[in-house]
Each structure stands twice: as structure tokens, then as C-alpha cells.
Amino acid sequence: MFVTTGQAGTVLGCSIPTVKKLMATGVVPGVREQGRQVFPLAALQQLQARPVAELTVLGMAEVAVLRSDAPTRVEEPDRDWIGFGAALNEAQLLAALSGWWRCDPARVAAGGVLPVTVAGFVVAVLTGLAEWESDGTAGTAGRFRFPKARLAGYLRDLTAPANAAAPADPEDARLAGQLLGTRLPSVSGGPIAYVPTRPTTADQPATATEGE
């Protein structure tokens, strides 16, 4: 049984373009084209039941979140793709997700971990963020990347979230296990959002606002 992307968006609290972006990543099995894109009802029910990320265990005041798009081909010297796609291998994913973004790099590094979300769901987790490089642009237009970032975990199937990576660092494995497949709503005008780990009631968004 299937539902429309509009119906899926209503259930998940996001827009139709955001639902289509999630489908384009390949992490939702059973997506079909039947004149129009349709979303498997069983998958939707599983996603609706995913828990909200428990950020208080991170021990930081806030954590940066990378709000990713579906994968797009690029011609750059250090990567062939940007964005998240379940079909990319680990090396391609790491290169696609570890830069270049407009952000406050010290603020990103301070969180110690960078959850990667699509449509408000954590689909990958980066660590090893202590060092960064600038593209040389001054001011707020500057972009940064994290050359020693590690892919602590990523998903190939969001409906049955299991880490597709095998991190050597036990702490990386722990963080990936806590975050992968959870819902982590965020609000930002760019790819990087900063989410308090102990939000007050006033800080809580009413719905998953990523991409709305």
C-alpha cells in the first residue's frame, strides 16, 4: 500500500519537496514511480515512530547539524559528489559531507559530533572535527571544511536503521548508535544549524521544520 508525497509530508510534518528529497537519497525502500512518486505506507509508519534524538547525553550546550540534500554530481578536485546518498560508498560520502560549508567552524568543532540530517532524520554522523580549513574568503561568505573528519556511521535503510560503517573508535560507534535514525528537527537559513542540547520549551519547534 502506498500514499502520496503530500500525505507523507503531512504525517512527517514537512513539505512535499522535503519528502521528495528524502526519497531521492535512497534511504527509504520501496519507493515507486506510478505516474507520480508514491511513498510506501509501511515505511511511513516506521518513520513516524522514530524517536527524537536524545542530545543531552552529548554533554555539550549545543551541537551543529548538517542539513543535507540528496546527492548531486560535482566536478571538484577533492570530491565527485555533494549531499547524502545511500548508494555512495564511504569514501564518497565522507568527501561529500565534510565541507565546504558556510559556518562557524569553532562552533561546529566544539560540539564534537556533526549529525547529518535529511528531512529531519539523522542519516549519517561525522566526528574528528577539531581541525578545519578555510577557502580564503573573508567574512560571512567564507566556507570551511574539516579535513580530518571521520564517518562514524551512516544508513542505507532509514526504516531499519543499522550502521553501515564499522568505526574503529568505540566512541564513534557509541555516538552513531545514539543518533542514527533518530529525528532531529532544526531551523536554519543555510546547511548548518545549531541546536541546543537542552532546549527550553520556547526553543522547541512545533514540527520538523527542515526544508519546509
Query: What are the residue boundaries of the structural domains of the chain, listed by start?
Result: 51-203
- The pLDDT of residue 43 is 95
- The pLDDT of residue 38 is 87
111, three cell numbers: 560540539
Statement: residue 205 has pLDDT above 90: no
- The pLDDT of residue 202 is 47
The mean pLDDT value for 120-128 works out to 98
pTM value > 0.75: yes
Distances in Å between the alpha carbon of 68 and those of 47, 82, 171, 192, 194? 18, 9, 24, 9, 14
Distance CA 171, CA 174 (A): 5
pLDDT greater at residue 141 or residue 103: 103
| Per-residue pLDDT tens over the stretch 129-142 | 999 999 988 877 88
| Per-residue pLDDT tens over the stretch 54-97 | 999 898 999 999 999 999 999 988 899 999 999 999 999 999 99
